[in-house]
Copies of this chain bind each other. A is one copy, B any other.
Amino acid sequence: MDVTYNDSATTNACKLCTPLGASLVFKGVRGSVPLMHGSQGCATYIRRYLISHFREPVDIASSNFSEDTAIFGGGDNLKQAITNVTRQYKPELVGISTTCLSETIGDDVGLILKEFKAEQSGGCLPEIVHVSTPSYRGTHMDGFHDAVAALLHALASSRGGNNGCINILPGMVSPADMRHIREIVEDFDTGCLMLPDYSETLDGMLWATYQKIPDGGIGIDEIREMGGARATIDMSRVCSEKRSGAQVLKARCNIPAHRTGLPLGVKACDRFFSTLSALTRRDVPKKYTRQRGRLLDAFVDGHKYISGKRAVVYAEEDLVVGLAAFLCEIGIIPVVCASGGTSGHLREVLEQTLPGNLKEEIRIIEEADFQDIEEAAMEASPDLFIGNSKGYSITRKLGIPLIRVGFPIHDRFGGQRSLHVGYRGTQQLFDNIVNAVLEARQTTSDVGYSYM
């Protein structure tokens, strides 16, 4: 029997479902509560998964479908859910994502919300934004990008007049990344409107009293302001252009869009910094030229430890692109570049980005699961893995180090604080890679040098 790829089972998925990405985006808006329209389990599982990475409360409400709901439609449940969330959390925004269940039974969420607003016309309602995220269509990254686009679609308005700010669509980076990106943009003396921004909401402080909705996030007014910005920098290169938030801003508010890719690795950072420099007509601040200088110095100091090493890279597609390009800069061959992502653009973007002479040595796997990655790794005799925690069992079998980046980090501490972007993030990653190689060499050596 002829089995096409899509006919086979997924073993140890290298992706998550769409509503997770959308919820993460809603967690990055000030005063927002994510609400999933579907069964209770979806919200609970996703909360658990996010909590284990971020180690922060992650309240996601659910419309809690029952069997009746599935038969008679989820309208009443959704309305009740919005009402209850509003009463308990007093949110400024309720971010609704659908689940496969509500999508499959055919709930028309737009219509339900229209009815609801009409019914509640007397009261003071929060903003309600909804994004369609059936988990049988795409991955968490699609949910993420679609939620960004939905927010901009609902809120961004052309306000005639340039507010001088720069819009940043960072994609699914860490809270530490978001803080660093903001620091960089602001060091160009320019306002930064970043969507989403969960740098505080998912990496916050201890509380004296319980915060129903943690402080932080981009405000609704700020999302509106994105329609009056100087430009949009979209850090995704694989996201379909027509689906992207940058496109919404361009089409609606005429904001020029720049797709820089993730600023990871020297060249990608240079691209980002020179974009900022051009947009703001300011020189790159000395702080960053020094960081860059130290990074290059480290590249040289460390190159002999890692030159010619072979790495398996897996993550969200944009992170794979960033990592693979960076690895090629430092002389590590990304022999396997894999992602569970389904954008369809990974191969194309990688081929544009990576040096042509390595083409034959690099295996690109789109829509990968960890079984694919394991099989490819067994053939590729890699020296190390770079990716999230989920590859651990494979590296354990192979006896090689795993350098943990991205999401989720479930078997180490501080994933929310790990920095990937900028010269500083690249420096950390570089140091981690060199040290992983040194540690492996030291540990497996009979001699155990204390001097390497």
Q: How many residues in A have their beta carbons less than 8 Å from beta carbons of B?
A: 40
Contact B431 A414 (CB under 8 A): yes
Roughly how many angstroms separate A290 CA and B176 CA in the complex, as a whole number? 12
Tell me the minimal C-beta distance from A168 to chain B in angstroms.
Answer: 19
Answer whether residue A89 sits at the interface, using C-beta atoms and an 8 A cutoff: no
- Selected interface stretch from A14-22, A97-105, A201-209, A251-259: A201-209
Q: Which residues of B contact A205 (CB under 8 A)?
A: 290, 292-294, 296-297
Q: Which residues of B contact A52 (CB under 8 A)?
A: 451
Roughly how many angstroms separate A438 CA and B449 CA in the complex, as a whole number? 24
Chain B residue with minimal CB distance to A205?
B293
| Chain A positions 414 through 452: 1 when the CB is less than 8 Å from some CB of chain B, otherwise 0 | 100100000000010001001100110010000011111
Chain B residue with minimal CB distance to A305?
B413
Determine chain A's interface SS by DSSP, over half rule: helix
Contact B206 A293 (CB under 8 A): yes
Contact B297 A206 (CB under 8 A): yes
Answer whether residue A393 sits at the interface, using C-beta atoms and an 8 A cutoff: yes
Contact B442 A411 (CB under 8 A): yes
| Chain A positions 87 through 131: 1 when the CB is less than 8 Å from some CB of chain B, otherwise 0 | 000000000000000000000000000000000000000000000
Answer whether residue A145 sits at the interface, using C-beta atoms and an 8 A cutoff: no
Answer whether residue A300 sits at the interface, using C-beta atoms and an 8 A cutoff: yes
Chain B residue with minimal CB distance to A396?
B448
Q: Which residues of B contact A451 (CB under 8 A)?
A: 52, 389, 410-411
Contact A413 B434 (CB under 8 A): yes
Contact B450 A438 (CB under 8 A): no
Contact A438 B412 (CB under 8 A): yes
